Chains A and B, each alone.
Chain A
Amino acid sequence: MFAMSNEKQDSKKECCKKSAEGELFQIIERRENTQPDWIEGFIVNGNRKIPVVSKTLKFSDRLDSWKARWSSFRMRFSIDPGLYAVGNPDAQSEVLVSANYKLSFDRLRSRLDGVNAWILVLDTKGINVWCSAGKGTFGTAELVNRIKYEKLTELISHRRLILPQLSAPGVSAHKVKKDTGFRIIYGPVRANDIAAFLKNNKRANPEMRRVRFNMSDRAVLIPMEMMQSVKYLLLVSLVFLLLSGLNSEGYIFNDIPDEGLNAVILMFIAYLSGGVLTPLLLPFIPGKAFSLKGLIVGIVLMGGIAIFSHKYPGLFRSNIDLLSWFFITPSISSFLAMNFTGASTYTSLSGVKKEMRFAVPAQIVLAVVGITLWVISQFI
């Protein structure tokens, strides 16, 4: 009995869901083995078939996200651009615009509990919202074209689009309005706040509009940054290994494992200092320039190692060997920390240029002095 009445209500509701052109929205129930597997079914409207996407992430989605974070290559995790649906939207439902980077899209769809909406996915070449907006691929032209290509006006009766706030560097709201008639409402920075934003009459509070860069935000970016610089670490380590055979008696291959391994371990410490420690502890390290922060962490670490080597002699050949690492480690640490500006959410181009004018020459001088001292230390 109960089920029957429910069914009746549903069919009653279904009967009134029509698109702007008067076509009925019909939901095709969840199908097994859809490709890709995050598509749960389809909404059929006239001769259109719009995929309905799942609001929960599967294990395979989480695996994608993990792989994307660790990949050092131009590995794209992209989905097909176009129109998608979440829940059971109709002609009055909101249209959320997103990028075709799978991580961006997954984050959005997994935060839409209880929401019926359309998702318009732009072709951002598999790049996230903020980066693609900066490049202009998440831009006015792509949005205007996509609105027309997907014939949005046939489907929905209103003229509003909700864009992620971080797409604003690429999209000119007044131009989109002029070209298509659609008014752009900038939503919150984080997909987490979308549901609250929609409930709150599409108003974002100041907190939703601020970009953050807290410990966990920084931590997830570290793997990719590290993977991008690991090839340099290996290359420089190899050079140190080859150089470590050099001494006053010529070139001794048997010295390489002993002397060279020390150098490789110290290189790795420098790499962790600039690539992991400095990004993680960013706000707690003095200075504003990232290169300076990395330099400080490198010096402090070397100070710790010097104290340690005082208690356990034999780690360094001589004081000159130890001294050389007070130049090499901070130089590498400073350089890697400086590269983290690209991952940060608050550095300006003008600021980065300013810090680099001092930092890059300083890093080169430190490295040259350090390596020279290190080579000298092998001869005495």
Chain B
Amino acid sequence: MFDLKYISGVATLQLDSDKCNGCRMCLYVCPHAVFDMDRKKAVVVNHDSCMECGACAMNCPEGAISVHAGVGCASAVLQGWINETEPTCDCSGESACCG
């Protein structure tokens, strides 16, 4: 009931199932169980849980996954606005301090 769900319908994650070789790597690396297997191919079953960390795309040997990876961190976005750059996160090293 009190599940933590963030803003829906915005994640940039895309999976091209035709390229998938069924290695399951994306299932292993995803921290939010976004993927599942269906007839030996990976499928996205929980798109709104994607936090765009980029682990799946990084570890897909077939290049079947694309995502605009970044840290969901407001102060990084703010810094980016001020400096007119991409969001930059210069944090002091706490666990998940910046995404």
Is B70 part of the contact surface with A, judged by Cβ < 8 Å? yes
Of the listed stretches A16-24, A40-48, A320-328, A352-360, name the one at the interface; the rest are far from the partner chain.
A352-360
Q: How far is the CA of A350 from the CA of B68 in the complex (A)?
A: 9
Binding site for B on A (CB under 8 A): 68-69, 71-77, 101, 103, 126-128, 130-131, 133-135, 165-166, 168-174, 186, 189, 204, 206, 209-211, 213, 220-221, 224, 282-284, 288-290, 338-339, 341-356, 360
CB-CB under 8 A for A350 and B12, given A342-B98, A343-B97:
yes
Contact A351 B71 (CB under 8 A): no
Within the complex, what minimum Cβ distance (angstroms) separates B8 from chain A?
7
Across the interface, name the chain B residue whose C-beta is closest to A69.
B94
Which residue, B7, B12, B94, has most C-beta atoms of chain A within 10 A?
Answer: B94
The reply to whether A349 and B68 form a contact with Cβ atoms under 8 Å apart is yes
Question: How many angstroms from the CA of A174 to the CA of B29 in the assembled complex?
Answer: 13
B69's nearest neighbour on chain A, judged by CB, is: A169
Rounded to whole angstroms, the CA-CA distance of A288 and B75 in the bound complex is 18
- Which residues between 53 and 99 of chain B lie within 8 Å of chain A, taking CB atoms? 53-56, 58-59, 61, 68-78, 87, 89, 91-99
* In the complex, chain B residues whose CB is within 8 Å of the CB of A213: 4
Q: Are B94 and A128 in contact (CB under 8 A)?
A: yes
* 9 CB-based A-B contacts, threshold 8 Å: A134-B89, A186-B29, A209-B31, A341-B73, A343-B97, A348-B6, A349-B52, A349-B70, A360-B78
Additional A-B contacts beyond A127-B93, A128-B94 (15; CB < 8 A): A128-B97, A130-B96, A131-B98, A134-B89, A169-B53, A209-B28, A288-B8, A344-B72, A345-B96, A346-B4, A346-B6, A346-B32, A351-B10, A355-B74, A360-B78
- Please tell me if the beta carbons of A170 and B74 are within 8 angstroms of each other in the complex: no
Q: Give chain A residues whose Cβ lies under 8 Å from the Cβ of B98.
A: 131, 134, 342-343
B91 (CB) vs chain A CBs: closest residue = A131
